[in-house]
Amino acid sequence: MIQVSGETIQPNQLKVSTIENKIAEHISSADNVYSYPSKQDLLFELTLRKNIIDSANLMNESEAGFTTFQYARCNPMYWILTSEGGFRLRPDVSPSDAISDIFQNSPQYAFECATACVILIYHAVLKSLDRARFDYYFRDLYLYSWHTDTDLGLQTYYGNKYIPGDIVYFANPDFSPALPWFRGENAVAMTDDNFFGHGLGIRTADEMIEFLNEQRYEGSTTSAYFTNLITHPSFQQLAQLSVNPSYRSGYKIQAPVLHHNQTSICYLHYLAFLKQFFLS
Q: How many domains are contained in the chain? A: 1
Q: Identify residue 265 by its one-letter amino acid code.
A: I
DSSP letter (8 states) at residue 200: T
Residues in the chain: 280
Give CA–CA dist 245/104, Å, rounded.
Answer: 31
Q: How far apart are CA 265 and CA 261, in angstroms?
A: 10
Cβ neighbour number for residue 41 with a 10 Å cutoff: 20
In this structure, the number of other CB atoms found within 10 A of the CB of residue 170 comes to: 26
Which domain, by its residues, includes 164? 2-279
Distance, in Å, from the CA atom of 167 to the CA atom of 195, rounded to the nearest integer, reads 9
Q: How far apart are CA 42 and CA 23, in angstroms?
A: 11
**For residues 195 and 162, what is the distance between their CA atoms, to the nearest angstrom?**
11
Q: What is the pTM of this model?
A: 0.96
Considering the chain, what percentage of its residues have pLDDT values greater than 70?
97
279 exposure class (CB count in 10 Å sphere: 0-12, 13-18, 19+): exposed
Note whether 95 and 139 are within 8 A (CB): yes
Which residues 6+ apart lie within 8 Å of 171 measured at CB?
183, 184, 224, 225, 227, 266
Q: Going by DSSP bridges, is the β-strand pair 2-4/7-9 parallel, antiparallel, or unpaired?
A: antiparallel
What residue type is assigned to position 45 of the chain? E
Tell me the pLDDT of the chain (280 aa) as tens digits: 999 988 998 999 999 999 999 999 999 999 889 999 999 999 999 999 999 999 999 999 999 999 999 999 999 999 999 999 999 999 999 999 999 999 999 999 999 999 999 999 999 999 999 899 999 999 999 999 999 999 999 999 999 999 999 999 999 999 999 999 999 999 999 999 999 999 999 999 999 999 999 999 999 999 999 999 999 999 999 999 998 756 555 567 888 999 999 999 999 999 999 988 877 6
